[in-house]
Amino acid sequence: VSFVKPLPSSLLVRSLAMAPKAQAKRSRADDAAPADTEEQELQQQQQEDTPAPSPSKKASAKKASPKKAAPKKAASTSKAGEEDEAAAKVQPPKRAKKAPAEPEPARPVYNESMRPPPPSAPHFKILSWNVASLRALLKKDAKAITKLIERENPDVLCVQETKISEKQVPEVTRQMALPSGWHTQWACSTDKAGYSGVGTFSKSAPLTTSTGLGVKEHDGEGRVLMSEFEQFYVINAYVPNSGEGLKRLDYRVGDGGWDKALSDYIKDLQKTKPVLLAGDLNCAHQEIDIKNPKTNLKSPGFTPEERASFGARYLQPAPEGCELTDTFRKQFPEVVGYTYYSYRFNARAKGIGWRLDYFLASKPLADKVYDSFMLPDVVGSDHIPLGVTVLK
- Per-residue pLDDT tens for 178-233? 999 999 999 999 999 999 999 999 999 999 999 999 999 999 999 999 999 999 99
Active site residue 383: yes
Task: Please count the other Cβ atoms lying within 10 Å of the Cβ belonging to residue 340.
Answer: 22
Q: What pLDDT sits at residue 303? A: 98
253: left (phi over 0), alpha (psi -120 to 50) or beta: alpha
- Per residue in 325-366, pLDDT (tens digit) is 999 999 999 999 999 999 999 999 999 999 999 999 999 999
Helices (H), 153-257: 169-176, 249-253
> Of 202, 188, 190, which Cα lies nearest the Cα of 160?
188
Active site residue 238: yes
Secondary structure (DSSP) of 258-280: HHHHHHHHHHHHTTTS-EEEEEE
Catalytic residue among 110, 218, 233, 238: 238
Q: At what angle do helices 9-26 and 37-49 cross, to 10 degrees?
A: 70
Q: Which residues, 6 or more positions from 32, have their beta carbon under 8 angstroms from its beta carbon?
A: 25
Distance (Å, whole) CA 138 – CA 174: 11
- Under 8 Å between Cβ of 285 and 310: yes
Exposed (0-12), middle (13-18) or buried (19+): which is 235, by Cβ within 10 Å?
buried
Q: What pLDDT sits at residue 105? A: 76
**Could you tell me the mean pLDDT of each successive run of 10 residues in the chain, 392 residues long?**
47 44 40 41 43 43 46 49 55 67 81 96 98 98 98 98 97 97 97 95 98 96 98 98 96 96 98 98 98 96 98 96 98 98 95 98 98 98 98 96
Catalytic residue among 265, 338, 358, 383: 383
Q: What pLDDT sits at residue 41? A: 42
Distance (Å, whole) CA 378 – CA 83: 76
How far apart, in Å, do the first and last CA atoms of the chain sit? 158
Q: How far is CA 163 from the centre of its chain?
A: 31
pTM of the full structure: 0.75
